[in-house]
Amino acid sequence: MELLQNMESKRSNKLSPVGKFLIYGTGGLAVGVSIVCVPFVTPAFRKFCLPYVPATTEQLLGVTKALMGRSGRLLDVGSGDGRIVFTAAKLGFKSDGVELNPWLVYYSRIAALLDPKCRDSKFYRKNLWTFDLKPYENIVIFGVQQMMSEFEKKLLKEANHDTVVVACRFPLPNMVPTETIGHGVDTVWKYIVKR
């Protein structure tokens, strides 16, 4: 009788294939979700926390209006999912994006390949503070208030004369906008760099 009970307890301690699958599957899923989430969480540990917040339709319309009559190369700083870059490409700009989050860069690159009007757009996984602004006649930024002063210094140091800068959500602190479009979180400020 004791031998039978021992065998029964050993049998109940073994995991069934379904149990193993559930344990390994749950563990693998947790690791996968963690890997995907890390690029979205790490901005909080940088000097300037620049979270991913997609542009609204009103903001896209404001940027489009601010760029009316312009042409040339355009850079979207903190390009996220590429909405500004794609909108600009469809308006005829040679548009690029710079973004730190690798998942958003990969997403944007794939989306650009799938849209014939956007295939020439480039997305760079680089740090804004080391990225060269000089080749661009048009620059769009969706920044946070804490970084706009430093970004303004970078603009004045690197951007060419007559470069149009479109700031969304937060204005540049010292430059005077030539145009303000929209209101609230959808406000867009247009600046022209003068040397």
Helix (H, G, I), strand (E, B) or coil at 160: coil
User: What confidence category does residue 45 fall into, taking pLDDT thresholds of 50, 70 and 90?
Assistant: very low
Q: What is the pLDDT of residues 75-128, one digit of tens each?
A: 999 999 999 999 999 999 999 999 999 999 999 999 999 999 999 999 999 999
User: What confidence category does residue 52 fall into, taking pLDDT thresholds of 50, 70 and 90?
Assistant: confident
Name the residue ranges covered by the structural domains of the chain. Answer: 2-45, 57-192
How distant is the alpha carbon of residue 142 from its chain centre? 9
Report the 10 Å Cβ neighbour count for 138: 23
Query: Structure tokens of 36?
Result: 């995907």
Helix residue ranges per DSSP H, 115-168: 148-158
For 89, list phi and psi in degrees, rounded to 5. -60, -40
- 57-192: CATH number: 3.40.50.150
